[in-house]
Amino acid sequence: MQALQRELILEASRGDVAAFEKIYRETADYVYGLAARITGNRADAEEVAQDVYLTIHRELGNFRFEASFTTWLYRITVNRAISAARKAARRRARQVEYDEGIDAGDRCNAPQEAVGREERIRSLLEVLNPDQRACIILREIEGMRYAEIAEALGVRINTVRSRLRRARGIIASRAREGGETT
Amino acid sequence: MRCRAVRKVLAADYCDGEIEGAAREDIERHLGGCAACRAHWLALRRAAVEPFRDAPPLAAPAPLWERVRERIGGGEAMALPAHPVHGRRLPFRLPGFAYAAASAAAAVLIAAFLIRQPLAARGGARTPPVNESEELHEYLQEQLALLASDGNGIPGSGEKTNGEDGSRPASSSYGTIVEEYLM
């Protein structure tokens, strides 16, 4: 995602809808994509993205350019998405006894060749917790450095390092289990 | 033990290009000589790194902006002037001094209203000015003096009695009547 011009951000903070829409157009795919991959759910991602832009609109007047706008956007998006993913996980845990049978049946019947790249990514991310998922996405898909991820998530670099290591270990372990069973 | 330490670095810093120089060369030297770690590294890359490398971009759904715009109260109303007028907008524009003049006029009206309030509380009676009050007092004194006289304008004799029984002083009696009449 390209850095936004300072003037554009200032105009939007003064209530200029056209400037705010420009910011939205520049960043919406990124915000939505990040939210969709962390939550694993399109409806939740839309809710998160909407919430992110309402927050930005409300807080833009307080933005002091001490951090980059992009980092601020990352942080808001990731935090909202992780929160939504946790809520969704609790929701699923309550529903699991009703949905488990149907869900397992769908997975068994789904033809492997029909699973696209995105579906493959979704299935890999699904086995991670929201914090690990956010780290993997920011690193592997967004190409961020550890320091940038740490800043976006508000955690230490060592936390980023250990989350990535743990996440890759889980994914590789699931891959081995899948290879052994098929 | 050495392999375990190398695999920890492989799964993070080495994989992500976060180590360089001598540390990286050390890992590569180990991989060159350890088939198990080399296999581990290849499996790790294949399972947990490569699938993410060509992740397709996801597009935000088109109606999302409309919903955001609706929630932020968008449209033309968001293009606020430098000094926004809060609340309902006027159908016309007023110059800046008009607001100051209107405020001053309102302050004068409120002050006038508050000053009149004590008079209203006394039944609307007007307090006579000091000069009027003194004139009235003098007039009453003159009238009392005339009434107290013997009828020929000589003051003093009425101080004694007002009639045959001499029951009360004439000045107090007449004074009360005059006061009641005038007031």
The whole-number mean pLDDT for each consecutive block of 10 residues of chain B, a chain of 183 residues, reads: 89 94 94 95 94 88 93 55 38 62 83 65 48 66 63 42 39 44 47
The helix, strand and coil proportions of chain A, stated in percent and rounded to the nearest 5, come to 85, 0, 15
As a whole number of angstroms, the distance between CA A36 and CA B153 comes to: 114
Residue B36: φ, ψ to 5°: -65, -45
Considering only the beta carbons, identify the residue of A49, A117, A139 that sits closest to B60: A49
| pLDDT of B180 | 44
**Site from B8, B10, B15, B18 to mutate, A interface, most A CB atoms within 10 angstroms:** B18
Say what the pLDDT of residue B175 is: 43
Chain-chain contact of A20 with B78 (C-beta, under 8 angstroms) = yes
Residue A48 reports pLDDT greater than 50: yes
More confident residue, B170 or A49: A49
What is the C-alpha to C-alpha distance for residues A103 and B104, in angstroms, rounded to an integer? 73
The string of DSSP letters for A126-154 reads HTS-HHHHHHHIIIIIT---HHHHHHHHT
Contacts with B, A 3-22, CB within 8 Å:
14-18, 20-21
Q: Which has the closest alpha carbon to B9: B26, B52, B21?
A: B26
Nearest Cβ partner for B68 among A50, A164, A168: A50
Cα gap B47→A124, rounded to integer Å: 9
Res A100: pLDDT = 41
Question: Three-state SS for B94?
Answer: coil
Q: Provide the whole-model pTM.
A: 0.62
A147 reaches B (C-beta below 8 A): no
Q: What is the DSSP letter of B159?
A: G
CB distance from A118 to chain B under 8 Å?
yes
Q: What is the pLDDT of residue A21?
A: 94
Q: For residues A111 and B70, which has the higher predicted lDDT (pLDDT)?
A: B70
Nearest residue of chain A to residue B47 (CA atoms): A172
Chain A CA closest to residue B43: A172
Residues of B in contact with A176 (CB under 8 A): 43, 47
B125-146 in b/e form (b: 16+ CB < 10 A) is eeeeeeeeeeeeeeeeeebbbe
B60's torsion region: left (phi>0), alpha (psi -120 to 50) or beta? beta
For the segment A145-166, the average pLDDT, to the nearest whole number, is 95
- Is B58 in Cβ contact with A118 (below 8 Å)? yes
Q: Does the CB of A117 have a partner CB in chain B at under 8 Å? A: yes
Q: How confident is the model at residue A66 (pLDDT cuts 50, 70, 90)?
A: confident
A113 pLDDT band (50/70/90 cuts)?
very low
pLDDT at B74: 54
Tell me, what's the pLDDT at B160? Answer: 40
* Structure-token pair, residue B8: 């920890």
Closest partner residue to B60 (CB to CB) among A29, A54, A164 is: A29
Average pLDDT over residues A11-22: 92
Q: What is the pLDDT of residue B89?
A: 44
Q: Round to whole Å and give the CA distance between B89 and A154.
A: 43
Q: Bigger pLDDT: A164 or A97?
A: A164
- B interface test, pick of A2, A14, A138 with most B CB neighbours within 10 Å: A14
Mean pLDDT of chain A: 85
A29 and B CB contact within 8 Å: yes
CA–CA distances in Å: residue A43 to residues A15, A88, B117, B161: 28, 11, 65, 110
Q: Are A84 and B99 in contact (CB under 8 A)?
A: no
- Which of A5-19, A38-52, A111-125 reaches the highest mean pLDDT? A38-52
Residue of A nearest to B41 (CA): A172
Say what the pLDDT of residue B107 is.
84
Over residues A104-114, mean pLDDT: 39
Q: Quick one: average pLDDT of A136-144?
A: 94
Q: How far is A97 from chain B (nearest CA, A)?
A: 30
Q: Is A25 or B164 the better-scoring residue by pLDDT?
A: A25
Q: Identify the closest residue of chain B to A167 by CA–CA distance.
A: B48
Dihedral angle computed from the Cα positions of residues A58, A60, A64 and A66, in that order, rounded to the nearest 10 degrees = 100
Q: Is A17 within 8 Å of B69 when comparing Cβ atoms?
A: yes
What pLDDT does residue B139 have? 67
Task: Give the ipTM of the model, two decimals please.
Answer: 0.78
Q: Residue A123 burial (CB < 10 Å; 0-12/13-18/19+)?
A: middle
Q: Distance between CA atoms of A105 and B43, rounded to whole angstroms?
A: 29
